[in-house]
Amino acid sequence: MLLVIDAGNSNLTLGVFGGTELLAQWRLLTDRDKSAEQYGLEIRELFERDSIEVKSIDSIAIASVIPQLDEAFVQTALNDFGVKPLFIDHTTKTGLKLLYDTPSELGADRIVDAAAALAKYGAPCIVVDFGTATTFNAVNAAHEYLGGVIAPGLKISAEALFSRTAKLPRVEIKRPEKVIATSTSGAMKSGLYHGYAGLVDGILEKMIAEMGSRPRVIATGGLAPVIAGACKYIEKIDETLTLDGLRLIYERNNPQITQI
C-alpha cells in the first residue's frame, strides 16, 4: 500500500492507495513548527480512525512546497513506517518534458498536477489548482510542460480585503444570489466570487489562445468546488488529481510496479 502526501502552504493532503484504489484521504493544517514526532502522531491517529494498519504501508511519495518540513517528513516516514519516501521534483520521471527556464524552480505540486492530468485526460490540457495560490499549468500535445501562471489564491485575496479595510466584515466565500448586491456583505461576496471567476476565465482565455489549440481544462484543489462552476472554460473538477498524480509518478519510478 502507498501513502501519498501533498504538502502545501496551507494544508497537508494525505491519501492511502491499495493498488489503484484510493482507500482513504485526509486533510491537515500545515504547521511549519511541528516536529516529526508530532506529525507522526497525527498521521497514526488518522490511520487508527479509519482502521488502516500503519505496517501495511510499504511505499511513500511526497510532493512538498515546504522545504523546511522535508526533513520532518523523512523522519516520520522512517520512524513510523520504516520507509524511505520518494520526493517528487524536476528530476523525477513523470512522462513530461519540462520547458521551464529553470526547472528546479517549478513546484512539485505543479509537476504532479500536470503529469496526472496528462495521464487521466490526455493532452493538450491545462490544470487549474485552487490552493493557497492558484496555479495554471499547461501541457501541449507533445507532452511538454509549457509553463503557466501563479495568481494570488481566493482566500489570500479575501484576507487582504478583510485585513486592509476598517468597516468591511468577513464574509463566506460562496456564489451570491445576484451580482448586483444590496448590502455590504452581499457586495463583498459578489466581488470575491465573480471577480475571481473573471480572473480565472481571463487567464485561461489568454493561455488557450497562446497554446493555439483547445485543451481540456481541469480544476483541482480545496477551493475548486467553490469557484470552478462559475468559470466558463473549466470542464472538469477532479478533487483527487494531485493524489492520483503522486500514485502514477510513484509507479513510473518504481520498476517493480507494472505501469498502468
Q: Which residues are catalytic?
A: 109
Q: Which three cell numbers stand for residue 94?
A: 513523470
The residue whose grid cell reads 507533445 is: 142
Among 88, 86, 68, 90, CA closest to 77? 86
In sequence order, what DSSP letters do the residues of 84-143 get, joined into one string? PPEEP-TTS--S-EE--SSGGGS-HHHHHHHHHHHHHH-SSEEEEEESSEEEEEEE-TTS
- Cβ 122 vs Cβ 251: under 8 Å: no
d(CA 132, CA 190): 20
CA angle 102, 30, 28 (to 5 degrees): 125
d(CA 57, CA 4): 10
- Cβ 58 vs Cβ 20: under 8 Å: no
Q: What is the largest CA-CA distance in the chain?
A: 62
| CA-CA-CA-CA torsion sign (11, 16, 17, 22) | negative
What number of residues does the chain have? 260
